[in-house]
Amino acid sequence: MTDDEADLFLDEMSDVVPLKRAARVRVARKPSERDSSLAARREAAVVDGRDDGNILTEDGLAIEPLDPWYVLDFKRPGVQNGVFRKLKQGRYEAEARLDLHRMTTRVARRELYDFIQESVRLGIRSALVIHGKGESKAERERASILKGCTDFWLRELDMVQAFHSAQPRHGGTGAVYVLLRKSEEKKRENREVFMKGRVPYDG
């Protein structure tokens, strides 16, 4: 561009006013439904973990898987040998059953805790928990994890007096008999029945 052309261009543009640019506004990204549901699930998990009272160990890595054919065997001090022998032989009828098949350890932990609590509340003394043995390789791996967790968790609950792997007719080593402590209400009922008809001794 020559000097004359440059001067001419500047003369032509002398009365041109630049356009005003609109101020930029930063728009906050709207959380998607997926983000919202994830946040809600996280919050619910925190609340559930804090308020459900579940004392069972959560860390599955701390619990050793057990071979599907391993026999579970546990008795607290004070449980009579004769009572434990009857439990092992499956001579106590299972008043309640819980099937943990195909559950994740997280779900199984909650279900087992709730089941034992409810059973004690209802005065149930003998229950059957089915953790499975697994027929395929993948099922065996899961069953051995659930079996290890069941063995570990039942020991953590004071209301569990004893447990033993079931007889073949009730699931064998894929299930466990559980003997529960008497509820306070049942103890009171038994005392009342025992005292009926008894004459106080005056000496």
- Mean pLDDT, the chain, rounded, equals 79
Q: Give the residue, 106 or 1, on which the prediction is more confident.
A: 106
Q: 190 falls in which pLDDT band (50, 70, 90)?
A: low
**The CA-based dihedral angle spanning residues 142, 144, 145, 150, taken in that order and rounded to the nearest 10 degrees:** 120
pLDDT recorded at residue 141:
74
Q: Give the residue, 144 or 172, on which the prediction is more confident.
A: 172
Percent of the chain surpassing pLDDT 70 = 62
Give whole-number Cα distances, 67 to 63, 134, 143, in Å.
Answer: 13, 10, 9
Contact in structure between 108 and 100 (CB atoms under 8 Å): yes
Residue 21, domain member (yes or no):
no
pLDDT recorded at residue 34:
45
Q: Give the residue, 3 or 131, on which the prediction is more confident.
A: 131
Statement: residue 162 has pLDDT above 80: yes
Residue 122, domain member (yes or no):
yes
Statement: residue 56 has pLDDT above 50: yes
pLDDT digits (tens, 9 = 90+) for 96-109: 999 998 899 999 99
Residue 51, domain member (yes or no):
no
Give whole-number Cα distances, 76 to 158, 173, 202, in Å.
Answer: 9, 20, 39
pLDDT recorded at residue 58:
85
Contact in structure between 173 and 67 (CB atoms under 8 Å): no
Q: What is the DSSP string of 101-120?
A: TT--HHHHHHHHHHHHHHHH
Residue 19, domain member (yes or no):
no
The rounded distance, in Å, linking the Cα atoms of 183 and 180 is 9
Statement: residue 187 has pLDDT above 80: no
Number of domains observed in the structure of the chain? 1
pLDDT digits (tens, 9 = 90+) for 121-150: 999 999 999 999 876 677 777 778 899 999
pLDDT recorded at residue 16:
60
Statement: residue 191 has pLDDT above 90: no
Residue 87, domain member (yes or no):
yes
Percent of the chain surpassing pLDDT 90 = 48
pLDDT recorded at residue 95:
97
CATH number for position 89: 3.30.1370.110
Residue 182, domain member (yes or no):
yes
Residue 175, domain member (yes or no):
yes
Residue 57, domain member (yes or no):
no
> Can you tell me whether residue 33 is helix, strand or coil?
helix
Domain that holds residue 87: 66-189
Statement: residue 39 has pLDDT above 80: no
The pLDDT of 170-194, averaged and rounded, is: 79
